[in-house]
Homo-oligomer: A and B are copies of this chain.
Amino acid sequence: MKIIKDVKFLIVGLGLIGGSYAQALTDLGYEVGAITRSQSSIDYAKENGLISSGTTEVTREYVSRFDVIVFALYPNVLLNWLSEYQDYIKDGAVLTDVTGVKTPIVYKIQEMLRPEIEFIGAHPMAGKEVYGVQNADKTIFRNANYIVTPTDKNTPEGINCCRELGKILGFKTVCELSPEKHDEMIGFLSQLTHCIAVSLMTCKESRELVNYTGDSFRDLTRIAKINETMWTELFLLNKGELLSQMDLFIDKFKELKSAIECEDTEKMKEIMKTSTERRAYFDKK
């Protein structure tokens, strides 16, 4: 499916990310509907021009109007939703998601779906430390990456449609990874970093440290403000991968610690030089 002007989008789950998708797509002139649990989210989104219609009830009549459906739900909720309502979706529709873990989601969904509809996993690597449609903000996509995770079951047209969506939403980069590669990468870049930030933040009852805190500690703990329900689910869905990334980090941390312990200044400098060199890859262009 090409994303032309009369394509109709349905957002299922109107939180921060779903709301930001809705805002971006509506602002581009598309018709955007929404299904979500809370009526107040629908009301807010309508009043603020994020969607043109919305409902808390899942009906065949409503769902079948849409060509592209974006699921912005917790992983387990997403699986339940599809097993219950996939019959309502029109033939030829393209489905995608925003879930932060792909392997345990994408294959299950593709297995369960009827052949007339296509699901392509995607992960918009954007966010904020606030929740809810009230904080929807399409500008969070601007400097972010959008990762499409196709499998053998996907068609070139489906993949293209999903990539196109990433582009029109305004992401800086759109790229493709297998679900497995995605989960390995996310285990390291995102889940491990959240585990580090959370652990650092729980080291001390740190209220009295606020006056002395520079940017280093603030930067390292920004993501320690965390939605515990969502992240518990995401961590466990990617458990094996995450645990091995955590082990890798512990090894490296202990290597530095033992260099400090032995006052091995050559080793310490070597580690810091490597760190400095590698960090340079990540300087924003």
* Residue ranges of A at the interface with B (Cβ–Cβ < 8 Å): 125-127, 143-145, 147, 173, 175, 177, 185, 188-190, 192-207, 209-226, 228-229, 231-232, 235-236, 239, 242-243, 245-246, 248-250, 252-257, 260-261, 263, 265, 268-269, 271-276, 278-282, 284
The 7 closest A-B pairs by CB, nearest first: A228-B272, A125-B214, A199-B253, A201-B275, A228-B269, A198-B275, A199-B252
Q: What's the nearest-Cβ distance from chain B to residue A213, in Å? A: 6
Q: Within 8 Å CB of A197, what residues of B? A: 216, 220, 275
Q: Knowing A195-B253, A221-B279, A260-B242 touch, does A214 contact B189 (C-beta < 8 A)? A: yes
Question: What are 28 sample pairs from A and B whose C-beta atoms fall under 8 A apart?
Answer: A126-B214, A147-B212, A185-B209, A188-B209, A190-B214, A193-B200, A196-B196, A196-B220, A198-B271, A199-B249, A199-B253, A201-B274, A205-B278, A206-B281, A206-B282, A210-B282, A213-B282, A218-B282, A219-B222, A226-B272, A226-B276, A232-B265, A235-B260, A236-B260, A239-B263, A243-B260, A246-B253, A249-B253
Number of copies: 2
A233: nearest chain-B partner, CB-CB? B265
Given the complex of chains A and B, what is the CA–CA distance between A243 and B262 in angstroms? 11
Q: Knowing A198-B271, A201-B278, A207-B281 touch, does A177 contact B212 (C-beta < 8 A)? A: yes
Q: Within 8 Å CB of A196, what residues of B? A: 196, 200, 220, 253
Interface centre among A190, A202, A207 (most CB of B within 10 A): A202
Pick from B217, B224, B284: contact of A189, CB below 8 A.
Answer: B217
Interface centre among A143, A190, A199, A217 (most CB of B within 10 A): A199
Q: Within 8 Å CB of A279, what residues of B? A: 201, 221-222, 224-225
Given the complex of chains A and B, what is the CA–CA distance between A194 and B200 in angstroms? 12
Q: Within 8 Å CB of A226, what residues of B? A: 272, 275-276
A220/B220 in contact, CB under 8 A: yes
A198: nearest chain-B partner, CB-CB? B275
B272/A231 in contact, CB under 8 A: yes
